Structure 1
Amino acid sequence: MSMTHEVLNQVPPLVGHSTAQDPALLEGLRREGAAWAIDEVEDLGRLAATAQAQEWGRLAERHQPRLLTHDRYGHRIDEVEYVPAYHSLMETAVSHGLHAAPWADDRPGAHVARAAKFMVWSVDAGHGCPISMTYAVVPALRANPELSQQFEPLLTNREYDFGLRDPATKRGLIAGMSMTEKQGGSDVRANTTTATPTGDGTYALDGHKWFTSAPMSDMFLTLAQAPGGLSCFLVPRVLPGGSLNAMRLMRLKEKLGNHSNASAEIEYDQAIGWLVGEEGRGVRTIVEMVNMTRLDCVIGTSAGMRTALVQAAHHARHRSAFGKPLIDQPLMRNVLADLAIESEAATTAMLRLAGANDRAVQGDSQEAALRRIALAVTKYYVCKRGPSQAVEALECLGGNGYIEDSDLPRIYRELPLLSIWEGSGNVAALDALRALAKEPQTLDAYFAEVEQASGESRFDDALTRLKKELTSFDDLELRARRVAELMALVFQGSLLLRHAPAAVADAFCASRLARDWGGAFGTLPAGLDLAPIIDRALVEVP
């Protein structure tokens, strides 16, 4: 067979490096008290960039979980079947402590280290859902000391032990959440699932849950209406002694993305649950859990943005058009620098929030107040920016980016979920207003943080605009998104001015704060120093 063409001008595979080759990430680890974890993060980053790990992610996403309601004899089993690649991803994540391990680690910076690992292990977003929920369940479970004492050691253990068995007999546990219902969505107080005391200290739950992710988890936090009002319960998949709990998997959702993660509709039919916290205080009980999962939404978005940026920069470095590499074309440089600024701002804010979370867990009330308000506005804004970042990075590859083999379509499909999960845009923005109204100390903590960057004229002007927005509460709900966005930008700007290279901070202030910027990426004004910004987006591949 004769050779009809020669393959030219194609980009080499992006493998063999480390996903931890991210200056903003490593600098933030040191700044937020987790320098001791850098070797661990880099080791995991090298594993994430191997061909094997990338293949696990591809296979887990391509071959979606399958619901098995009955066995061959007709017995109800309510199981979900996953491909082996999914279990390899889970085993790696658990063994490296991406789940609840920080709750058993009293070193300062343990939660920051976990955030960095969660970010660099970005080969598949779907399995990150049960990992994130297991992390978030622990602080809520502590509202019932007896349950916490029994299960927390198994939730924090670094062994992945898959299968439906009595939780007390397993080496390690994975936890999930089952909150929303079809008639309520984010309005969980509208839930109709009931919880009836049985007389032996447990409750019998009846109702239909609309979204239950990772239904093969060992136990779930769920909300139900008890005699005393909406309450939080821990519902195991398998009861003590080994019999299946009456938690029926009705169907798996067909989703835009997040394909490796099964999301189910379930029905409780006298399912047994244990009360967590007090009756009638279910929402308050899960607030701390929501803080943790919202932080993971920011981490996951930052990871997706960074991965998309690195893919785009790698392509532009090795692909030529019109006589020179794409990365040397002025307009492509504008696009890449703009993407890099967005990514670095997200990563820097994420790590500051992870540091606040770490110190809040240790009892620092000032950091807890900052986390409360800055997390709400950052979750709103960063998770909104993620899909736009991904589609622009995809476009840098042209038609090659639209092809599944590039992996950018998978990133693009994943990122809208993180804006929806734990409160879509409106919910997150309104939650920020709720914090301002009910917890005024949060605004004091916010200004104490951001005003450390005062003195830069463009930043000061943005801060003045923000304070003007907050002087009047007229139509504040109508302006909630506007206020949340500006608060997030001021927060990011303050951090970059204090910690990022001058070129990055200057470009952020010129575009995002002084608003010399268009409606799409690649509209940075002339006169900025783009070279050092782009250099931070490049990784060295062997």
Structure 2
Amino acid sequence: PAGDGTWRLQGHKWFTSAPMCDAFFVTARTAGDDRGISCFFMPRFLPDGSRNDIRIQRLKDKLGNKSNASSELEFEGTVAWLVGEPGRGIPTILQMGVFTRLDCALGSAGIMHQCVAQAVHHARHRRAFGRLLVEQPLMRNLLADLALEVEAAVTLVMRLARAYDRMEDPAETEFRRVMTAVCKYWVCRRGPPLAFEAMEALGGNGYVEEAPLARFYRELPVNSIWEGSGNVMCLDVLRAFGRSPATAEAIAAELAFARGANAIYDRCCDRLAQRLLVPADPATSAQTEGQARALVAELALAMSASLLLRHSPDIGDLFCRARLDGSPASGLAFGALPDHPAIGRLIDRLEPVHGDAAPDVG
């Protein structure tokens, strides 16, 4: 502390995104204090108009996300103000971090949608073996499977966004506490393999920098990495369930809205209920932690199925058969959907047909 209500930060910050910002929230450990990490507000310009001592050491050379600069910063007596209580830096900054986790899931869902829209557009205009690609059964299966993944991702993140719009609702608070981490983990993780499949659908045209898919492919992994990696998200879910029985009850209540709509879904909910509503046993905590990814994946799939069954029953039925039935192809490889009348509608929803038939450009 500097004695005037401010603090002086000293040290090196290995990774800082958007270093051109006018202000930052940073966490730091206070010298001679064993209370832990605290949160600080650090402006670029001080109240008298002078520049704060924030030194950009270098910009990172990243795989993707290149339009958003990331940097290494050096602090040498940098002026900052304490935010919240000393030693409570992580809980304080996570009050803002949950919104960026929502952003990661929303961003991934949006890019996934654009990837599949590009693939569908290409298939509607490219001919091979005398037919448009979109008319060929195997390509239709692949496109529909990719579209199904997008439907699930968008529906899931929109439901989460609604929970953020209803901050005053206790049930939505419990839902948000778990599903933010679930969506961040699952939706962001499904993006890269989907982008690859969409890229492959375009062939060489998908692999060149003139087309947008190469950038989409590079952009998607970062949403899984920053604001908490996959393991961090899954452990957050376990902690949320461990804090209060109300959390599991809120999730079970949300899943119950679609009970009875699909037998496969009902069996999935029964399995989840056995895991969520049974009190945690300290003797098996290591085993529970080791299975956290499996739990979060199943919860993400079940919640997606619940939402789709309620809002688009035919697509929800296909989702249950394709993702919840436990067959070897379930979710492991795109393009292995069972025959279903919703396949055509899934493709059309990604790029509705307008006007006359597509021209022959092949």
TM-score (norm 1): 0.62
1:241 to partner: Cα distance: 1.8
Q: Match of 1:535?
A: 348
Q: Match of 2:84?
A: 277
Matches of 2:182 and 2:318 in 1, distance apart? 22
Q: Structure 1 residues 462-471 or 230-239, which shifts more?
A: 462-471
Per-residue CA deviations over 1:454-496 (Å, capped at 9, x if unaligned) read 0021100111122234446531101000000001111111000
- Of 320, 333, 344, 1:509 maps to 320
- Of 461, 485, 494, 2:297 maps to 485
- Of 440, 460, 471, 2:266 maps to 460
- Of 294, 298, 321, 2:101 maps to 294
Contact 1:503–1:533, Cα closer than 8 Å, also in 2: no
Q: 1:358-377 alignment to 2 at 5 Å?
A: 358-360=165-167, 363-377=168-182
The AA in structure 1 aligned to 2:337 is L
The AA in structure 2 aligned to 1:392 is E
The AA in structure 2 aligned to 1:445 is A
Contact 1:394–1:408, Cα closer than 8 Å, also in 2: yes
Q: Match of 1:388?
A: 193
Q: Match of 1:449?
A: 254
Matches of 2:314 and 2:118 in 1, distance apart? 22
Q: 1:417-456 alignment to 2 at 5 Å?
A: 417-455=222-260, 456=262
Matches of 2:11 and 2:245 in 1, distance apart? 38
Q: Match of 1:407?
A: 212
Q: 1:150-165 alignment to 2 at 5 Å?
A: none
Matches of 1:423 and 1:436 in 2, distance apart? 18
Matches of 1:267 and 1:539 in 2, distance apart? 51
Q: Match of 1:216?
A: 20
Matches of 1:462 and 1:528 in 2, distance apart? 23
The AA in structure 2 aligned to 1:376 is A
Q: Match of 1:319?
A: 126
Q: Match of 1:267?
A: 74
* Residue 496 (structure 1) aligned with residue 308 (structure 2): yes
Relative to structure 1, the CA distance from residue 461 to residue 215 in structure 2 (aligned partners, 3 Å threshold; closer, same or farther) is same
* Residue 476 (structure 1) aligned with residue 283 (structure 2): no
Contact 2:206–2:213, Cα closer than 8 Å, also in 1: yes
Structure 1: 5+ residue runs without aligned partners?
1-196
Contact 2:207–2:214, Cα closer than 8 Å, also in 1: yes
The AA in structure 2 aligned to 1:468 is Q
Matches of 1:320 and 1:515 in 2, distance apart? 35
Matches of 1:233 and 1:499 in 2, distance apart? 44
Per-residue CA deviations over 1:60-86 (Å, capped at 9, x if unaligned) read xxxxxxxxxxxxxxxxxxxxxxxxxxx
The AA in structure 1 aligned to 2:315 is V
Per-residue CA deviations over 1:493-522 (Å, capped at 9, x if unaligned) read 10000012x331111010111134352100
Matches of 2:340 and 2:354 in 1, distance apart? 31
Matches of 2:244 and 2:184 in 1, distance apart? 18
Counterpart secondary structure, 2:250: helix
Relative to structure 1, the CA distance from residue 527 to residue 348 in structure 2 (aligned partners, 3 Å threshold; closer, same or farther) is closer
Matches of 1:229 and 1:198 in 2, distance apart? 19
Matches of 1:512 and 1:253 in 2, distance apart? 38
Matches of 2:36 and 2:212 in 1, distance apart? 46
Q: Match of 1:203?
A: 7
Matches of 1:264 and 1:202 in 2, distance apart? 25
Contact 2:318–2:340, Cα closer than 8 Å, also in 1: no
Per-residue CA deviations over 1:292-340 (Å, capped at 9, x if unaligned) read 0110011000011000010000000011100010000000000000011
* Residue 342 (structure 1) aligned with residue 149 (structure 2): yes
Q: Match of 1:241?
A: 48
1:283 to partner: Cα distance: 1.2
Q: Structure 1 residues 214-223 or 528-537, which shifts more?
A: 528-537
Q: 1:12-411 alignment to 2 at 5 Å?
A: 197-226=1-30, 227=33, 228-360=35-167, 363-411=168-216
Counterpart secondary structure, 2:63: coil
Relative to structure 1, the CA distance from residue 313 to residue 230 in structure 2 (aligned partners, 3 Å threshold; closer, same or farther) is same
The AA in structure 1 aligned to 2:302 is V
The AA in structure 2 aligned to 1:537 is L
The AA in structure 2 aligned to 1:488 is A
Structure 2: 5+ residue runs without aligned partners?
356-362
Contact 1:357–1:371, Cα closer than 8 Å, also in 2: yes
The AA in structure 1 aligned to 2:263 is S
Matches of 2:300 and 2:219 in 1, distance apart? 22
Matches of 1:447 and 1:340 in 2, distance apart? 27
* RMSD between aligned residues: 1.4
Matches of 1:292 and 1:443 in 2, distance apart? 22
Per-residue CA deviations over 1:413-449 (Å, capped at 9, x if unaligned) read 0100001111111111111011111133211111111
Contact 2:39–2:83, Cα closer than 8 Å, also in 1: yes
Contact 2:252–2:273, Cα closer than 8 Å, also in 1: no
Contact 1:314–1:539, Cα closer than 8 Å, also in 2: no
Matches of 1:233 and 1:434 in 2, distance apart? 25
1:529 to partner: Cα distance: 3.2
By relative contact order (CA 8 Å, sep 6+), the higher-ranking structure is 2
What percent identity do the matched residue pairs reach? 51
The AA in structure 1 aligned to 2:298 is L
Counterpart secondary structure, 1:477: helix
Counterpart secondary structure, 2:140: helix
Contact 2:12–2:73, Cα closer than 8 Å, also in 1: yes
Q: Structure 1 residues 459-468 or 489-498, which shifts more?
A: 459-468
1:229 to partner: Cα distance: 3.2
Contact 1:245–1:272, Cα closer than 8 Å, also in 2: yes
Matches of 2:305 and 2:223 in 1, distance apart? 23
Q: Match of 2:358?
A: none
